[in-house]
Structure 1
Amino acid sequence: MNRQIVSTGTEWESRVGYSRAVRLGSHVHVSGTTATNEEGEFTGDDDPYEQAVQALANIENALHRMNATMNDVVRTRMYVTNVDNWEEVRRAHGEMFGDIPPTTSMVEVTRLIEPEMLVEIEAEALIVAQGTDSA
């Protein structure tokens, strides 16, 4: 089975030793993703909604590079540094997934790798050929 990886080229990937996303067969796993733009610069300032929107856009970009879409996502995990911000993070998640909601978890953590990061999101996708659903 072919293993494909997607890298963003950020310093964190080489320092920590991970890939943005890995596809093995029909499974795609997207690493914990934060609010960084295409240049690797942090965005979203002190706004958990904007940070979640950017993180989800980064996940969508990684999926597209693996020939997958947000429609293929079956699970997300959201890590927040303040659970009181859950409504803002939930709103961004709900806007992204609309009528195709995956299973999910939201967990409060003490902190993320950088102090300005309020949200980190990871995703798992399963690419199923059209017409093969057993539902």
Structure 2
Amino acid sequence: MSRQNILTGSPWEDKMGYCRAVRIGNIIEVSGTVAIVDGETVKKDDIYAQTHNILTRVADVLTQAGASMNDVIRTRMFTTQISRWEEIARAHGAFFGEIKPTTGIYEVSALISPDYLIEIEFTAVVSE
């Protein structure tokens, strides 16, 4: 099977040796994604806005991989503020209300920057 790496141009892709997503066959795995616009964190105190930004950006990545949010079968959400899960759920539900992938939401002690309140990973399977 061929491998398709989807890069976004982030300087971290080369520094860490990773890419935003990898597609092999009909499976797409998307790396943990945080809320960034033009190198800046999206609204440091707004977990809904950060979640929405991540979901919007990943929708674009999936398009590059020949998929869509309809193909997402699992999300993994890591947050430093689990008490704000309802705000996260509201944004997640806006994208996945009808699709309903499996999901998990986990509280972690920290993300790579204290400005990030949430990071999300995705798995998608494209119908053949």
Same fold (TM over 0.5): yes
Distance in 1, matches of 2:110 and 2:49, equals 18
Distance in 2, matches of 1:121 and 1:55, equals 7
TM-score using structure 2 length: 0.96
Identify, as 1 or 2, the structure richer in strand: 2
Shift of 1:119: 0.4
**Equivalence for 2:107:** 108
Distance in 1, matches of 2:34 and 2:66, equals 21
Q: List structure 1 segments (4+ residues) > 6 angstroms apart after TM superposition.
A: none
TM-score using structure 1 length: 0.91
**Equivalence for 1:9:** 9
Distance in 1, matches of 2:118 and 2:68, equals 21
Matches within 5 A, 1:112-123: 112-123=111-122
Distance in 1, matches of 2:111 and 2:54, equals 14
Would you say how many aligned residue pairs link Structure 1 and Structure 2? 128
Contact 2:44 2:117 in 1 (8 A): no
Q: Report the secondary structure of 2:61's partner residue.
A: helix
**Equivalence for 1:85:** 84
**Equivalence for 2:33:** 33
Distance in 1, matches of 2:36 and 2:8, equals 10
Distance in 1, matches of 2:25 and 2:40, equals 32
Pairwise CA RMSD of aligned residues? Answer: 0.9
Unmatched tracts of structure 1, length 5 or more: 130-135
Shift of 1:58: 1.4
Distance in 1, matches of 2:39 and 2:2, equals 28
Deviations 1:13-37 (A, max 9, x none): 2222111000000000000001012
**Equivalence for 1:132:** none
Shift of 1:12: 1.8
Q: Report the secondary structure of 2:32's partner residue.
A: strand
**Equivalence for 1:70:** 69
Unmatched tracts of structure 2, length 5 or more: none
